Every structure is written in structure tokens, then in C-alpha cells.
Amino acid sequence: MSVLIREITTADQFPLYDAIPNWFTVEWALHVEAVDGGLGGFRLVKERVAEPFIKTYCDGGPTNWVAEFDISRWGIFLAADGDRSVGGAAVAVDSPVYPLDRFQRKDLAALWDIRVHPGHRGCGIGSLLFDHAADWARRHGFGQLGLETSSVNVPACRFYAHKGCELGAIHRYGYAGVPQAAHEAMLLWYFDL
């Protein structure tokens, strides 16, 4: 397999990214335990879920994002093996996306999305995409990359930790307004560029 990563910038290329499935199987979750009512911090405990399930992110991709955000300054990358799209990543800047909308930091870019086709997971494509996204953010003058994931995405958490990201915040009720995800905790990760 020979994977090449390229930046895509025009709407006619967005469907190539949109077509990459964005789901994973949940078999384990990180349960947040408050230590001393939270005064002693929080502890994440890995637990097997009672019934494994498929978690799907339904935001589509850049075709949908362009209706909600100005993505003209974003870095949007496509990983391809020949003519087959096998992964994608998007770095959001100057947009009201989490965690950018909360912190108003000019030195923070957000890894808004990273996905690898299920048939190509475990082949290093995610690592290539992460490195490419981080390099793009660094070249564009950002000092840190922020990203958000859920406590049920244990493989992503392990991946981010392996890549050198640090868990910067645990928001136990971050998805409280989203009924299907209200039981999940929001985890914010940071990567120094």
C-alpha cells in the first residue's frame, strides 16, 4: 500500500472525503470517577461496555461543514491509496468549533476531524494524517493543536496519548444536551507544536 496525503481545497473534491466512513465499534469506555468529590481530581477507569455498539459521527464532512462554517482557511487533507480514499483529517482555524469556541486562543488550531476507512485501520494512516495535520498547523503559525473526543472512543484516546497529546480537560457533562451521548464524557487533548 502506497498512501499519499494531499490537501483538498475545492468543493468538487469534498465528496472524496465525505465518502470515508466515520464510525467505530465501542467495546470499552473510560468511566470518570471523581476523587474526593472532584477536589482530588478525576480518575479515568477503563470498563468493558455491557453490549458493544457502533458509534457513528453523522457530521458528514466538508460538504456539510461548508454550510455551517467558513472553512476557507482550514487545512483539509485526504489520504489516498491509488484512486481510493482511505483517510482524512481537517484542521479548523478561525471558526466557532470546539475547543476553539471556548478558549478564543489565537495560537490554537483544532483537529476537527480525523478518520480512517475501517478496512485500512491499523496500517499507520491515522498517524500519517495526524503528523500531516500537525505540520500544517505549525507551518501556519499555531503553537498548539487541540482536539476533542468522547470517553467511549478508547482507541482514539490511546492513539492521541501515543502521538504525544496530553489530556488537558475532562468535561463530565460535555454532552449532556445530546441525549444519545449524555452518558459520555468529553475529553480535550492538546498537542504542542
Domains delineated in the chain: 3-192 (3.40.630.30)
Examine the pLDDT at 105 and tell me if it is beyond 90. Answer: no
Examine the pLDDT at 99 and tell me if it is beyond 70. Answer: no
Indicate the length of the chain as a whole number: 193
Confidence of residue 22 (pLDDT cuts 50, 70, 90): very high
pLDDT of residue 100: 60
The cell 488537558 sits on which residue? 168
Rounded mean pLDDT, 111-128 = 96
Examine the pLDDT at 7 and tell me if it is beyond 90. Answer: yes
The answer to whether the CB of 187 falls within 8 A of the CB of 148 is yes
pLDDT of residue 101: 60
**Phi and psi, residue 137, nearest 5°:** -65, -40
Per the structure block, which three cell numbers stand in for 41? Answer: 481530581
pLDDT of residue 75: 98
The partner residues of 159 in beta bridges, in order of sequence, read none
The answer to whether the CB of 74 falls within 8 A of the CB of 66 is no
For residue range 70-96, list pLDDT tens digits in order. 999 999 999 999 999 999 999 999 888
For residue 95, give the DSSP letter: S
Q: How far apart are the first and last CA of the chain?
A: 29
pLDDT of residue 119: 93
pLDDT of residue 103: 61
Write out the E strands in 35-101: 42-56, 75-81, 84-92
